[in-house]
Amino acid sequence: MLEVEPAPAARTVTPRPTWLGHLRIARIDHWIKNVFVLPGIVAAAGIDRGHIAAHLPLRIAIGLAATCLVASSNYVINELMDAPFDRHHPEKAARPIPSGQVNVPLAYLEWLALGALGLWLALRISIPFTAALGLLWVMGLAYNIPPLRTKNLPYLDVVSEAVNNPIRLVAGWLIVTSESFPPLSLLVSYWMIGCYFMALKRFAECRGIGDAAQLARYRKSLAWFDERRLLVSIVFYGAAAMLFYGAFIMRYRMELILSFPLVALLMSIYFSLAFKKNSAAQHPEKLYREPALMVAVVACAALMVLLLFWDIPFMARLFNPSAPVQRIP
């Protein structure tokens, strides 16, 4: 009788670090988020028309490249610091570092090299622009690295991540001119709308993962949140964003009042996305796959650009007080 030899035990294949893994942690596909620099460029050109720098197209190209490199540096440190927690996420466990596709010491060198190259490029624009990107890089440290690691703190995780929006707006403005600075009302509005989008991302994550214990292992701040608390914060951020946007409009550019309906539509469409299963709100780099949202974004952006450069005197006459304001002594 022939004896059948047992089949050899299956070997466990350990992934090896690859150059592709290192490229992936730089998240080049996330560079689309740096479109938040463009409103600063447009706003500066529309509001401070007398101080537009020479060779603006070249400055824009260099400025965007520098911003993308600094952002990638922040993405690398994010991947490094998040790796132990990503192992508890149903999708992020397959990221390059948790899955063994990255040489960790080399990734730290990649982090520093990308940041240094981005700041070196920024110096080709101006020192104020370099300072803005330096602040963007520092916020990446505060958000990711212990003991501060603001991403673990309820509410502060959203606020500290969204502050990158006004920093990018300042960077865009400084690409155009270093002779002025964006209005504070515009910066706060831009900050709050970033908080609105980020809180909706957290809301979508809570709905997507569901299990409270797994949420807490993945991100400590989510242990505090539930859907009600997140929705309350989303209403606050949305209201604050529109309040400060209105203050900016009344002081600097009355014509932008006409953009309110499209802004409200855009915010409503994004809000609805957070309720979808496997929502694109959880993965902002994939939002381009949402046709209704993209149409609203393009239409809203085009209208805002038009209203920044098209003077409509009737708007000022319509909204200015028709009689002196009587102040109570």
DSSP category for residue 95? S
Annotated domain spans of the chain: 18-180, 183-309
pLDDT of 307 reads 94
In this structure, are residues 133 and 118 in contact, taking their beta carbons and an 8 Å threshold?
A: yes
Positive or negative: CA dihedral 109, 110, 113, 118: negative
Mean pLDDT value across the chain = 87
pLDDT of 2 reads 39
Mean pLDDT of 288-293: 86
Higher pLDDT, 6 or 328: 328
Q: Measuring CA to CA, which residue among 233, 137, 139, 148 is closest to residue 192?
A: 233
pLDDT of 195 reads 96
pLDDT of 72 reads 97
pLDDT digits (tens, 9 = 90+) for 133-148: 999 999 999 999 988 8
pLDDT of 3 reads 44
Model-level pTM? 0.85
Q: Is the pLDDT of residue 212 over 60?
A: no
Give CA separation, 100 vs 24, 26, 103, in Å.
Answer: 13, 16, 8
Q: Is the pLDDT of residue 210 over 90?
A: no
pLDDT band for 28, please (50, 70, 90 cuts): very high
The backbone torsions φ and ψ at residue 201, rounded to the nearest 5 degrees and listed phi first, read -65, -45
- Per CATH, domain 18-180 is 2.160.10.10: no
> Which of 144-148, 223-227, 268-272 bottoms out in mean pLDDT, i.e. has the lowest?
223-227
The fraction of the chain above a pLDDT of 70, given in percent, is 85
pLDDT of 328 reads 57
Q: Is the pLDDT of residue 15 over 90?
A: no
CB-facing half-sphere around the CA of 193: CA atoms within 13 A: 21
Q: Measuring CA to CA, which residue among 39, 308, 76, 307 is closest to residue 194?
A: 39
